[in-house]
Amino acid sequence: MLSPTERMIAEVDGPIGWLVFNNPARRNAVSMDMWQAIPEILDAYERDPAVRAIVLKGAGDKAFVSGADISEFEQNRSSPEAVARYDEIGNRAQQRILNASKPTIAMIHGFCMGGGVGVALSCDLRIASQSAQFGIPAAKLGIGYRLGGLVRLVELVGPAYAKEIFYTARRFTAAEAHGMGLVNRVLPDAELDGFVRSYCAMIGENAPLSLAATKGIIAEITKLSAEVDRARCEEMVRRCFESEDYVEGRRAFMEKRKPQFKGR
């Protein structure tokens, strides 16, 4: 099928609908047009009865997704209004992955950083190669993470590991990610593709309505409590994006220097 942008490859192969992040020059960092293409591609896969499982992967051999394309931040995330619009588009894409009625698998090799972890968390399963590396460097950029993304992380790894991931902003190995529960399985690099294909073949032999029912019921089980103070969560994130530290963080990244944060 044709993709809305050349930086997202959509291809059906047997029972698999592939969704490939095709920006290898930037380690598959996700640009605005890539976020926008995701819901359209997934809509097409959900209409296609031949597609029994959807696999997300990165083009090339360096990365799954290295995060959001920070080079766009000065243009697309430099004001509160721009942040809100960008986040709405990115959140809509990740929510569309999360809400897909068909099983979704993140096939992870190389770098899986920041927004890449968010994409992987939106999938049902995460299968990684031994060389994969994970991290969420939000604290190095002055970024606040919204409730939805943190909820999915805490559901998988628990609050203690979630804090470690965010507090340190360091990279974690595939073995560490597996130990936390961030990924389901870790395979030798050369075996990753074949394993995922065989897993999808196994899934494809099962009843689609049974799988959809299981996914839907688990989603209901894990819904947030009504007691969560959403307004407070949004306020804490807003303070990050309106801070001097956020300006310093993104500019330091583009200038390839260490940021000097002041807590304001």
Q: Between residues 242 and 20, which one has the greater pLDDT?
A: 20
Tokens 């591609």 correspond to 41
How far apart, in whole angstroms, are the C-alpha atoms of residue 182 and residue 155? 10
Helix (H) or strand (E) holding 95: helix 80-98
Sign of CA dihedral 60, 61, 67, 69: negative
Asked whether the whole model's pTM tops 0.75, one would answer yes
Tokens 């766009």 correspond to 72
CA dihedral 106, 109, 111, 115 (to 10 degrees): -10
Pairing of strands 8-13, 16-21: antiparallel
Question: Which two tokens mark 100?
Answer: 């897909």
pLDDT digits 0-9 by tens, 26-80: 999 999 999 999 999 999 999 999 999 999 999 999 999 998 777 766 665 556 7
Reported CATH class of domain 8-210: alpha beta
